[in-house]
């Protein structure tokens, strides 16, 4: 049997995206196994979700490390020693250093609650409202050295309503996040994602051997 895609999840807060991944795995529609969750915040509710679902989790407080590289180096060690093929950032409030990005090159996904390249960074629901856009949404992308700049995998669109607050818009967007993040991970697990520069293609049908070789977990294709 083909081994399941091993994922490592990075969290800092509520972990509702982590929950959507757990739920899809438990329902049998996401062929992945969460090998390890790392939180930089000991109080993250995401850790409680891990406990409930018997998912291994560890707290690494970034304040306890001398440099960003030391912190990232420790995260690399944890994920590499737990057979993590794909890193999934799910509300992780730290910027990754090139050390980490190179250790999992084009194997790190992030979700952002806006339609990139519009509104990168933080407080983006309020920024979308203040700008007056009629639509916003969410973006799953590969992480690169910039902030929310990596190649886009999938996006979903929601309307911005006249009476929206940052909270009501965030809730509408979050619902779509929970739908598309597991979907993007499943595309990856199926070996259907092909990256060409900035462009990400989702392949139909069987996977070409060259692409399978790119993902050690998918070499049986």
Look at strands 86-89 and 108-112 and give their pairing.
Answer: parallel
Interface with ligand GRF includes 91 (CB under 6 A)? yes
Q: Cβ distance 186 to 31 under 8 Å?
A: yes
Distance of closest approach, residue 98 Cβ to ligand GRF, in angstroms = 21
Q: How far apart are CA 143 and CA 104, in angstroms?
A: 10
Concerning whether 123 is annotated as a catalytic residue, the answer is no
Residue identified by tokens 């982590």 is 18
Tell me the two tokens of residue 15. Answer: 């972990």
- Residue 85 gets which letter from DSSP? S
Interface with ligand GRF includes 113 (CB under 6 A)? yes
Reported as type and span, the H/E element at residue 202 is strand 199-202
Range in contact with ligand GRF (rule: CB under 6 A) among 105-113, 129-137, 186-194, 200-208: 105-113
By beta-carbon proximity to ligand GRF, the closer residue of 6 and 113 is 113
Q: How far apart are CA 66 and CA 212, in angstroms?
A: 38
The residue within the footprint of ligand GRF, chosen from 6, 15, 137, 150 (CB under 6 A), is 15
Distance of closest approach, residue 24 Cβ to ligand GRF, in angstroms = 14
Interface with ligand GRF includes 111 (CB under 6 A)? yes
- Catalytically annotated residues: 112
Binding site for ligand GRF (CB under 6 A): 13-17, 90-91, 111-113, 174, 177
């Amino acid at each position: 049997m083909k081994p399941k895609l091993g994922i490592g999840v990075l969290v800092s807060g509520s972990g509702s995206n982590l929950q959507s991944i757990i739920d899809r795995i438990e329902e049998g529609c996401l062929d992945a196994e969460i090998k390890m969750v790392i939180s930089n915040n000991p109080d993250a509710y995401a850790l409680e979700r891990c406990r409930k679902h018997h998912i291994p989790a560890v707290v690494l407080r970034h304040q306890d490390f001398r440099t960003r590289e030391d912190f990232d180096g420790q995260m690399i060690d944890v994920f590499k020693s737990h057979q993590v093929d794909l890193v999934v950032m799910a509300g992780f409030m730290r910027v990754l250093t090139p050390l980490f990005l190179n250790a999992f090159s084009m194997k790190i996904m992030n979700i952002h609650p806006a339609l990139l390249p519009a509104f990168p960074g933080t407080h983006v629901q309020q920024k979308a409202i203040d700008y007056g856009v009629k639509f916003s949404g969410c973006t799953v992308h590969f992480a690169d050295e910039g902030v929310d700049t990596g190649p886009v995998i999938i996006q979903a669109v929601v309307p911005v309503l006249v009476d929206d607050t940052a909270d009501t818009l965030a809730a509408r967007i979050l619902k779509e996040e929970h739908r598309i993040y597991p979907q993007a991970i499943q595309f990856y697990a199926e070996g259907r994602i092909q990256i060409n520069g900035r462009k990400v293609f989702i392949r139909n049908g069987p996977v070409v051997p060259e692409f399978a070789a790119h993902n050690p977990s998918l070499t049986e294709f």
